[in-house]
Structure 1
Amino acid sequence: MAGSRIEVCAPIAGVFYRRPAPGEPPYVEVGDRVQKKQVLCLLETMKVFQKIKAPAAGRVVEIPAEDGQPVADGSVLLVLEED
């Protein structure tokens, strides 16, 4: 039986980044298993980078946000299926 779906949302408007630096691999891909508090992505606001962490252990099932693109406050960045 599948767990509940958790939407990981932007806590503030900013630019969404899937990788720690250009040329580096993404933090996570669809299908990856993650642990609670694992870094999933970055959100840049006014030259400050905020690490967005998993609220629970689970599996990444969707990444609707586009890498390097602006997102609004409350936008869904990733969707997890809780273990």
Structure 2
Amino acid sequence: MMRIFLGIVLLFSSFISIPVFAQTTEDTQTMFKQANEYFGKGEYNQAIIIYDNILQVVPNNISTLKMKAIALSNSGYHEKSLKEFFK
């Protein structure tokens, strides 16, 4: 009886997590576009804040790490930039 209950719980939890992951992915894509808009305007500090928020959700996102490193470099934070490039 306990195995059936655990099976049902696992089944339902997998259905719940799929939309959450999809929403997170869509949110980070929207955030990435917004950060790139700030980057394009030369508002690097705003872009860095958003890149950091994305990296909290998707820590190993190469595009975000690269753009954050470039934004840091453009802001004069060259040492921090190098650390981001070599993460």
TM-score calculated relative to the size of structure 2: 0.24
Structure that is richer in helix per residue: 2
If the length of structure 1 is used for normalisation, what is the TM-score?
0.25
State the structure with bigger RCO (CA 8 A, min sep 6), 1 or 2.
Answer: 1
- CA radius of gyration, larger in: 2
